[in-house]
Amino acid sequence: MKSCPRCEASMDDSARFCSECGAPQTEEAAEELDQYVQRQAKQVAAQSGGIRGDGGSTGGGTGSGDVTAADVFGVAAEELTEREQLWRRGTYVLGYATVVIALTQIANPGAWFLLLGGIAILPPTRRLLGLPVGGTFKREAMAGLYAVFVVLGAVLFFVL
């Protein structure tokens, strides 16, 4: 009889896993366990995240009412399509660039509208504003809100 290197329990020589602690005893058993854990992790993530094809979440979550980082920031980048990744990167660049421009001109009243527009187009804002209604706002709605704020800000820049 051999003993488990992890917990020192006695076990049969042909055992693939320890009967006391569950540790794999062979490389093949370790690989099998790793694959099982990865499958289970994907299944749990899909069930708890309520992942949709549009990169959003159905708002299912854990049902406890707590807001998690996944609720705010959305799904991981590798779960997004190429088009969704491009949209997300573009809105981050556009949002932060608008915020920076607004902050450099903060003395002008138009800068406040630019600041609001820059914040509105950022993906976390879209998710946060959508949490009370159980989903995310449409990208088109946030882009429209951004356009309205930027146009108002630009008009105020030139009028004042």
Please give the full DSSP string across 41-98, using - where no structure is assigned.
HHHHHHHHHTB-TTS-B-S-TTSS----HHHHH-S-GGGS-HHHHHHHHHHHHHHHHH
Q: Are residues 95 and 146 in the same domain?
A: yes
Q: Are residues 39 and 79 in the same domain?
A: no
Can you give the pLDDT at residue 52? Answer: 43
The DSSP output letter for 138 is P
Torsion of CA 132, 85, 95, 152, to 10 degrees: -80
Q: Are residues 69 and 114 in the same domain?
A: yes
User: Which of residues 13 and 77 earns the better pLDDT score?
Assistant: 13
Which tens digits make up the pLDDT trace of 117-146?
Answer: 888 888 777 777 766 665 666 777 788 888
Q: Are residues 91 and 30 in the same domain?
A: no
Which tens digits make up the pLDDT trace of 77-90?
Answer: 456 678 888 888 88
Can you give the pLDDT at residue 137? Answer: 65
- Domain of residue 65: give its range: 50-159
Number of structural domains, the chain?
2
CA distance 126 to 122: 7
Can you give the pLDDT at residue 61? Answer: 44
Q: Are residues 80 and 123 in the same domain?
A: yes
